[in-house]
């Protein structure tokens, strides 16, 4: 089985941090995060991956859930994270040049208003369903 992945939900001022993606003719959003390193704690994975992908520093505070991603035979762990500091931009690592080159592989981290999340296409699906449910509950609680 492949190593697990950890993703983080980060809320700031009625917005949530997402990655806007264009890949192979599709346009969608993902929750920032990625694969754990060997022997890495998942809380450290989510902190590291969010910094790499978005330049935003976070502190994991709660595990929302564990979700099986069948097509890759691995688990995705979804954390609720506290925003610490930083503004969304691609991290300073080698893939940066290709990550905004063209529509075949485009990434853009951004704050998205919570009220718009329900209408977005978000991948991967098992995590997206839990994420949307969590955000919808937050929006309802603010009404």
**Dist. CA 124–CA 13, nearest whole Å:** 25
pTM over 0.85: yes
**Dist. CA 43–CA 76, nearest whole Å:** 12
pLDDT at 94: 46
Per-residue pLDDT tens over the stretch 58-104: 999 999 999 987 776 789 999 999 999 999 998 766 465 666 666 67
Domain 5-142 has CATH 3.90.79.10: yes
- Consecutive H or E run containing 18: strand 15-23
- Consecutive H or E run containing 16: strand 15-23
Per-residue pLDDT tens over the stretch 52-61: 999 999 999 9
List the chain domain ranges.
5-142
Q: What is the mean pLDDT of the chain?
A: 89
């Amino acid at each position: 089985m492949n190593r697990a992945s950890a993703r983080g939900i980060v809320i700031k001022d009625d917005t949530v941090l997402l990655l806007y993606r264009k890949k192979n003719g599709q346009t969608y959003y993902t929750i920032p995060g990625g694969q754990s390193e060997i022997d890495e704690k998942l809380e450290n994975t989510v902190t590291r991956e969010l910094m790499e992908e978005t330049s935003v520093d976070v502190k994991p505070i709660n595990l929302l859930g564990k979700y099986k991603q069948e097509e890759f035979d691995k688990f995705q762990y979804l954390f609720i994270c506290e925003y610490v500091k930083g503004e969304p931009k691609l991290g300073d690592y080698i893939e940066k040049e290709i990550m905004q080159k063209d529509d075949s592989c485009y990434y853009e981290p951004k704050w998205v208003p919570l009220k718009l999340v329900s209408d977005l296409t978000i991948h991967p699906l098992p995590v997206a369903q839990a994420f949307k449910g969590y955000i919808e509950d937050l929006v309802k609680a603010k009404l």
